[in-house]
Amino acid sequence: SPAPAVVTVTGAAGSIGYASVFRIAAGEMLGPDQPVALRLLELPQAIPAAVGTAMELDDGAFGLLKSVEVLDDPRKAFDGANFGLLIGARPRTKGMERADLLAANSSIFASQGEVINEVAADDIRVIVVGNPANTNAAVAAAHAPDVPAERFTALTRLDHNRAVAQLAHRANVDVGEISRVTIWGNHSATQYPDIFHARVGRRSGAEYAADREWLVDDFIPTVAKRGTAILEARGASSAASAANATIDHVRDWVLGTPTDEWTSAALSSTGAYGIPEGLVSSFPVRSVDGRWEIVEGLEINEFSRARIDASVAELQAERDAAFNR
Ligand code: NAX
């Protein structure tokens, strides 16, 4: 069997980390033939909880899991890492302004980017989950000049999966009948879930989008505010669905997407669709030979353009705040 893939999970003792690591150990992220070495990176105060998680991983007796290490030193945690799941972030606490949040996270992700640049494996692939995910990914990439920027991505697959599920409910079809949905822009309330190009069984998403009242007053806000709805219902933020989406993202990145379909991921813009180069924005993407490619050439109508532009403007403002701290 191949050498173990070194997977570093930050914030491993948190809710999303906990919901991710067992599935990674079970082979759901990298496939049933790929052994895994897990590195759980946590802040010193959460090390005991991470040790408990590592004990439970032991107790899973996962055949693919070759080792588990609990670490509070990023340099050791990312040494030789093939995959970085950057889930840990500074949460917004009472009285904290958005600018403070951006500054606190930008220093975390700047230093993790530097460490990744120095010690990770040459093929390191990073997914940032910790918010503000897009901007944190841009900051980490900017501090890792030797790693191609395209290897720093951010999670919008949860938003994508939410959009697929909502459209499936509306059309009364199975989620498997839905393809070519796109999340554009930022993982935030300004994100734009686009169904104009979607396939809904034998029908087109544009047919559903023609019902503008449903699109504007129901579909778009339901997807964009789903995180808040989950928080209100559960009394805790989305964890298992976020872990599921993180695993979907990495699995598709490594194993590929079906050729005539696409998914959504936030990547460093190539300038496609007029989105400024280097901004980490969500796009329609395919994974080909282990690399994300932006699906180009989609016609963007006025309705979509205005919403994409609004989310991109927010990303630019976040970037300015994060880089000029
Ligand atoms: P938790 O607070 O349960 O866990 C976060 C963990 O990260 C904690 O155990 C903390 O000790 C650790 N941590 C913080 N800073 C760290 C650092 N510098 N190095 C290593 N570990 C560190 O949060 P959880 O619910 O797991 O959410 C994690 C992040 O995901 C949050 O930033 C959250 O906002 C974000 N989300 C992003 C989503 C997306 O779609 N991109 C959706 C879900 C989620 O809201």
Determine whether domain 157-323 maps to CATH 3.10.105.10: no
Dist. CA 239 → ligand 1 center (Å): 10
The kind and range of the H/E element at 50 are helix 47-59
Superfamily name and number for 5-154 = NAD(P)-binding Rossmann-like Domain (3.40.50.720)
Q: Which atom of ligand 1 is nearest to the CA of 239?
A: 25
The residue type at 140 = A
- Which of the 8 DSSP states describes residue 321? H
The CA distance from 11 to 106, in Å, is 16
As for the ipTM of the complex, it is 0.99
For the stretch 307-324, pLDDT in tens is 999 999 999 999 999 987
Q: What percent of the chain has pLDDT over 70?
A: 100
Q: How many CA atoms lie within 13 A of 102 on its CB side?
A: 19
For the stretch 188-229, pLDDT in tens is 999 999 999 999 999 999 999 999 999 999 999 999 999 999
Q: Which residues line the annotated binding site?
A: 11-17, 92, 98, 105, 112, 129-131, 162
- Which of the 8 DSSP states describes residue 276? P
The residue type at 78 = F
pLDDT at 178 over 90: yes
By residue count, the chain amounts to: 325
Q: Could you tell me the two tokens for 116?
A: 């990744």
The single residue listed with the structure tokens 């990145």 is: 253
Residue from 68, 62, 66 nearest 26 by CA: 62
- Which of the 8 DSSP states describes residue 4? P
Residue from 74, 196, 139, 79 nearest 318 by CA: 139
Is 88 close to ligand 1, i.e. is its CB under 6 Å away?
Answer: yes
Q: In this structure, how many other beta carbons lie within 10 angstroms of the beta carbon of residue 98?
A: 12
Q: Which atom of ligand 1 is nearest to the CA of 88?
A: 7
Q: Could you tell me the two tokens for 68?
A: 């588990």
This prediction's pTM: 0.98
For the stretch 59-92, pLDDT in tens is 999 999 999 999 999 999 999 999 999 999 998 8
Dist. CA 125 → ligand 1 center (Å): 19
Is 187 close to ligand 1, i.e. is its CB under 6 Å away?
Answer: yes
What's the gap between Cα 124 and its chain centre?
Answer: 16
Is 140 close to ligand 1, i.e. is its CB under 6 Å away?
Answer: no
Dist. CA 14 → ligand 1 center (Å): 6
- Show me where the domains of the chain are located: 5-154, 157-323
pLDDT at 325 over 70: no
Residues 6+ apart with CB under 8 A from 58: 68
pLDDT at 259: 87
Dist. CA 212 → ligand 1 center (Å): 35
Is residue 266 within 8 Å of residue 137, measured between CB atoms? yes
Q: Which residues line the annotated binding site for NAD(+)?
A: 11-17, 105, 112, 129-131
The single residue listed with the structure tokens 């505010």 is: 225
Could you say which of 143, 187, 197, 249 is catalytic? 187
Residue from 41, 53, 30, 39 nearest 6 by CA: 39
- Pairing label, strands 83-86, 125-128: parallel
Tell me the average pLDDT across 19-43: 98
pLDDT at 94 over 90: no
User: Among this protein's residues, is 160 annotated catalytic?
Assistant: no
Q: Could you tell me the two tokens for 194?
A: 């686009």
pLDDT at 92: 83
Q: Which atom of ligand 1 is nearest to the CA of 49?
A: 9
